[in-house]
Each structure stands twice: as structure tokens, then as C-alpha cells.
Amino acid sequence: MLHIPIFLIIIPVVSAIVIYIVKNKHVNYLALVAQAVMTVLAIVYFHHFYQDGAFQPQTFIIGLWDDVGIPIRTDGLSMSFVFLTLFSWWMVLLYTFNTKETDHDFVFFMLFLQGVFLGLLQTNDLFNMFVFVELTTIIVTILVAFNKTPKSFRAGLYYLLINTSGVLAFLIGIIFLYFTFGTINISVITAEMLAVAPTTAMRFTYVLLMAGISVKAALFPVFTWLPKAHGAARAGISALLSGLVVKGGLYLFIRINAMFAEAGYQYTDFFFVIGALTAIIGIVFAISQTDIKQMLAYSTVSQIGLIVVGLSSTDALVYSGGVLHIFNHALFKVLLFMAAGMLIKVYQTKYVTDMRGVMRSMPLLGIAMLFAMLSITGAPMFNGFISKSVIMYGFDTTDLRYWVLFVANIGTATLFVKMSQIFFGPKTFSLRFHNKLQDATLIVLSVMLIVFGNFYITIGQGFFGADFSDITLTLAKALEYIIILGVAYLLYRFLVRPDGQLVRRLRHFTLSFEVANYLFVTYLLVMMLYFVVWL
Amino acid sequence: MDPMLTFLVILIGMYGLSTSKNIIKSVFSVTIIESGVILLFLNLGNWRGGSIPIINGAADIIADPLPQALMITTIVIGSTVTALALMLCIKVFHHYGTVEWREILRRGEGK
């Protein structure tokens, strides 16, 4: 029973290799079989160790020799991420499923990425964490460049180099941890953290680790790779990258901060500022775009900022709201990217200004997209409402921080008012989707949005041990949502739709690679000034 | 070799990364940082000047074997990254006809 985490890593990798070697007409079905086996194994594992209303953390050490080995540890958080991973991969595999000759390579990289990502979620060893993060970077680069267009090669290169430099900062941090503690086992380091926490070297280590993670998670000054990579990849890949792979960085954020919990560094204020800046700047860029995938990619940046705001809270409830938003965001962003991919295919354009009449031409797609948009803007009865309310729960209306988040919410609403213009207009196509699998994924994801929006109390207790029963739908909140939508419509009508010079300038704003790296070094220095000198 | 010197190597790489406008130079800068990190880890693992970590009863001081094992992995990953980056450089050069970051990022879809 304890071996199941290893199988979760090995099964996708082995079946990926088999698919790549065999390459015949039917072998792609092996991906679905592997996926089904993994899902069953994960459920059995979770069920077996689920006692007293919570998942009991399990540690398994590979190559056990005098307590030394490669540790794998699963707790409630990593198991919930494992289920999210399996679910997202199900959706994307079904969405992109095809038995064509050319798709073997694609399925190979997809499954391999899943194995690596599951490894990242379950490892308890810092160096393995580094290896898995770097492998994720390499495979994602290949997947981004998979379209073989000039734009995707450029985006892949940008992504690879900037992420590698971030991950190397992470590796330097690991080196310092190893020579301080004599081990790279996360549990051991967590237990012994208090003794060495006040030293300057340990603060320096924290800064290096966090700088690397910030690049992976696309926080404010170092997010420029994300819109490029997610805009250039295929629709299914973009869905996976935005929905899940970016969350790998946030998972590391949670883990490393938990590791330094005993040290008591005051990271919450710093990351609140970074998160709020990410949320607002991301959404400002998103509103100025007209390319549907760029809009969604910048919106991901903004939502990550919101999640970081939640995660960098001392209040346990707000913290679990941040974790919950990771899941909710994965659900609706996967749905939106998939729908965007279908729209681009049907309309043969990627500009929202050229798409009209979606609701009449493709009602199913239209309704699924509407659900996702309602969710992401925080409409009552949908899942986005719950996590946004939980994150806002910690702040009073007199607090400045509440209004910062409020502005970000208005921005999100404006973006989706702009995007929702594609629904209106006359029927332009008499074409219906014949791909039943893609329709099915849209339906499943829409249902999940509503399930997460209504059964959040059970889900919160089962996975995060958090009590969300304080969050209820009140008239004030419904009114607030209507006000936000009203302000967003006015903003759209008078600021965004005229497409003034400011909006156009923002749309074509791009950072060259060396400037992005310069920002990364500056970010590192600012963090050092704050954590090493100031605190 | 002093571990501090390896920091110099890392800083040189960082300087190159944040100033060079050429893709090939950026790839080299990443490689330089990586070499610096590997040297740092190996140096810290063997700062007393011990012998190779194969115990035959002769040496008093032996080097810590773990950094060496880990750095082999890092070298392998590093060479993969470099190979992939250079492959992408070739593709970018074929499509855009240049390896300057600014030129490439300014153009929309290439030639």
C-alpha cells in the first residue's frame, strides 16, 4: 500500500515510453488505461489512509539503509494536488485525444510530464524537488514549442532560459541547506529549523529559494515568460500549463514556507505586496489584449497574485482560501482555455473582436464559457465566489488591503465583460461540433464548477481540514457582485472599447529577455534587502 | 579553490544574463551560472582537501560523496538544457534570420 506513490510516478513514465516506441494505431489508448489505473490506485491509497476525518501523512523511504534513502511523503495537501493533477490530465487527454500517427510524440510528452509533476508533488527530498522542477521546465519547453511555429520556438526559448536561471537560484539555496543541516530531507530540516533560523546565512538561503520559486510561479517582476509561453502553445497544453503546471510553483511556495515555519520570518507582508501587485498588473495587461489566449494567460498571472495574497496570510481560514482558489482556478482556467482553443479552430482567428455570435452558433460551448466566466468573476453559487470570499474574509472594509483586492476583482470583471462580447451577435456558423469527447470535457468541467461552488464545506473539511461554514451567500455579497459588474461594464464601455492610445501601447508592451533577467536580479536584491538587512 | 571564487563565476553568469542581447550569449550565461553552482557544491563538499570517497582504509579525510552524486545529476540536466536551448536557437535563427532578442521579440510571426 505504501508503494502506491512510486507507482503513480512510474506508470505514466513507462507507458509514455511504450507509446513512443510502439507507435501504432491503437497504442494511444494505453494512455487512457494508464490514467484509469493511476486514478484507481490514488483513490485506493487515499481511502486506505483516510482516518478520523483527515488523511494521515505517510512517509515511504526508497532504498532504506540506516534511515537514509530517498523519501516520499504524502499528506492531505499533496493528495489533493494529486487528485487535481489526475483530473486535469483526464480532461486534457480526452480533449486532445487522437490516434493519428503524429500524436504519439505529443502523448509521450504529456504522460511524461504527468509522471514528473506527480513526483514533484510527492517528494520529500529537496534535491529530487529540484530535479523534478527542472524536468518539468524541459518538458514544458518542448510542449510549448510543439506547434513548430516561429512564435512558439521563441516562447519556448524564453521560457527555458528564464526558468532555468530561476531554478539555479533554487539549487544554490538547496546547497546552503545541505551544508547547514547535513541533509536534504524536508521533514528533518523542518524539525531542526529553529536552531539555525536567526543566522544571516539562513535568511540568505530563504531569499534564494523564494526567488527561484517566484520565477516558477510567475510573480510580479518575473512573470513575463508566462503570457508568451501560454499564448504560443496548443490549446490543450495552455490549459494544462495555466491550470496546473504554474501551480507547481505555488505548491513549492507552500512547502518551502512550511519548511521555514519555525524560523518565523515575517514573509506575509512582503508577499502580500508582491501578490497584490501581480494581481493588479496582470489584469491591467489582460484587459488591453485582444488575442483571446493572451487575455486568458494574463488573467492567470492576476489570479496567481490573488492566490499568493491568500497564501501569505497568518489567518488559517484565509490561507486555506488561497489553497482552495488554486483548485477553483485550475477548473475554470482549463475550461476557458479549452473553449478558446475550440473558438480559434472554428473562427480561424484568435482575436475576440472578430468572434461574434457564439451563443447562437455553438450553444453548448457558449454556456460552458459563461459558467467559467461567472466563476472567475466571483458570481454567487459558483466556485470562484467561495474562494474569493474566503480570501477577502480576513480583511475589513476599512482596510486598504480589501480595496486593493476589490480593484483586482473589478479588473477581472472588466476583462470578462470584454470577452463576453463574443456571445452576442447573429448566428455566423451553421457548424456544430462533432467531437463528442471535447463536448463531454466541457460538460464535466462546468458541472465541477457548480459542485465546487455548492459543496465547498464538505470538500474543505475532507481535503484541507478547513471549516468554510462561515462563508454563506448574503444579500450584501450578491449586491456587491452586481455593483462590480456594473462598474466593470462602464469601464469597458468608456475606457476599453474605444481602444485609446494607452490601451494599444499596453497591448504591444513587451520585455526583452535581458531586461526580464535584470528584473529578476533586482527582485533578488530587493528580497535580500528586505529579509536579510531590514528584518 | 576558494568557494568564494565560485560565487564570482555565478555573478559573471548573472551579469551576462542581464546584459547580453544575443540568444547564444544568454545560453552561455546560463551554462556559466550552472558551472559556478556545480563548482560551489563540489568545493563545499571537499573544503578540507580529502581524497576520493572510496573507503579502503588508507585515507583519513575523505570527501563528502553526496555532493558529487548530486552534481552528476545536475551536470546531466545542465547538458540537456543547453542542448535543447541551442536547438531552439537554430530554429529561431532559421525563422527570423537573427539571434538578437530585441529583433525577435519585436517581430510578430517571423518571416
Q: What is the pLDDT of residues A342-351, one digit of tens each?
A: 888 888 888 8
CB-nearest partner of B109 from A134, A150, A513? A150
3-class state of residue A33 by DSSP: helix
Output the nine-digit C-alpha cell for A442.
Answer: 466541457
Torsion sign (Cα): A47, A48, A50, A55: negative
Q: What percent of chain A has pLDDT over 70?
A: 97
Q: What's the whole-number mean pLDDT along residues A179-195?
A: 86
Determine, yes or no, domain membership for A493. yes
Chain A: residue whose CA lies nearest to B111: A150
Q: What pLDDT is stored for residue A143 in this prediction?
A: 92
Residue of B27, B40, B73 with shortest CB distance to A161: B27
Contact A39/A90 with Cβ under 8 angstroms? yes
- Tell me how far apart the alpha carbons of residues A67 and A70 are, in angstroms, rounded to a whole number: 10
Judged against a pLDDT cut of 70, whether residue B1 lies above it is answered with no
| Residue A432 placed within a domain | yes
| ipTM for the predicted complex | 0.93
Range of the domain at A315: 267-497
Rg of chain A (C-alpha set): 22
Range A96-118 average pLDDT: 83
pLDDT at A200 over 80: yes
| Chain B interface includes A423 (CB < 8 A) | no
> Is the model more confident about A178 or about A263?
A178
Of A112, A130, A165, the C-alpha closest to A252 is: A130
**Average of pLDDT values for A339-344?**
88
Task: Write the pLDDT tens digit of every residue in A379-416.
Answer: 888 888 888 888 887 777 777 788 888 888 899 999 99
- The more confident residue out of A285 and B60 is A285
pLDDT tier, A531 (very low <50, low <70, confident <90, very high otherwise)? confident
Query: Which position has the grid cell 518571416?
Result: B111
Nearest CA in chain A to B110: A150
Residue ranges in chain B assigned as alpha helix (H): 3-19, 23-45, 65-96, 101-106
pLDDT for residue A94 is more than 80 = yes
If you average pLDDT over each of A148-157, A313-322, A505-514, which comes out highest? Answer: A148-157
Any domain includes A44: no
Domain count, chain A: 1
Residues of B in contact with A150 (CB under 8 A): 92, 95-96, 109-111
| C-beta separation of A517 from B18 below 8 A | yes
Q: Determine contact, residues A175/B44, Cβ cutoff 8 Å.
A: yes
- Asked if A168 and B110 come within 8 Å (Cβ–Cβ), the reply is no
Which residue would you say has higher pLDDT here, A495 or A160?
A160
Is residue A366 situated within a structural domain? yes
Candidates B17, B19, B24, B32: best to mutate against A (most CBs of A within 10 A) is B17
The lowest-confidence range among A39-43, A227-231, A260-264, A463-467 is A463-467
Residue B32 pLDDT exceeds 90: yes
Assigned domain for A466 exists: yes
Contact between residue A313 and residue A319 where contact means Cβ atoms under 8 Å apart? yes
Is A168 within 8 Å of chain B by CB?
yes
Say whether residue A54 is in contact with chain B using an 8 A CB cutoff: no
Q: Which residues of A441-465 are buried (b: 16+ CB within 10 A; e: fewer)?
A: bbeebbebbeebbeebbebbebbbe
Task: Using alpha carbons only, give the angle A371, A225, A339 rounded to the nearest 5 degrees.
Answer: 25
Residue of chain B whose Cα is closest to the Cα of A151? B109
Q: What percent of chain A has pLDDT over 90?
A: 28
Helix (H) / strand (E) element for A355: namely none
Q: Find which of B29, B64, B70, B80 to mutate to test the A interface (most A CBs within 10 Å of its CB).
A: B70
| Residue A467, phi-psi category: left (phi > 0), alpha (psi -120 to 50), beta (remainder) | beta
Bridge partners (DSSP) listed for residue A59: A73
Q: Around Cβ A495, how many Cβ atoms within 10 Å?
A: 14
Q: Which residues of A78-112 are buried (b: 16+ CB within 10 A; e: fewer)?
A: bbbbbbbbbbbbbbbbbbbbeeeeebbebbbbbbb
Residue with cell 501504432: A24
Q: B3-51+61-106 has which fold? A: Helix Hairpins (1.10.287)
| pLDDT of amino acid B109 | 46
In this predicted model, what pLDDT tens digit does every residue of A290-338 receive, in sequence order?
889 989 999 999 999 999 988 888 788 888 888 888 988 999 899 999 9
At residue B110, the pLDDT reads 39
A450 within a domain of the structure (yes/no): yes
Q: How does pLDDT run across A430-484, given as a tens digit for each residue?
A: 555 567 788 888 888 888 888 888 887 877 777 777 777 777 777 888 888 888 8
Interval A24-69: pLDDT, tens: 778 888 888 999 999 999 999 988 888 877 788 888 888 777 667 7
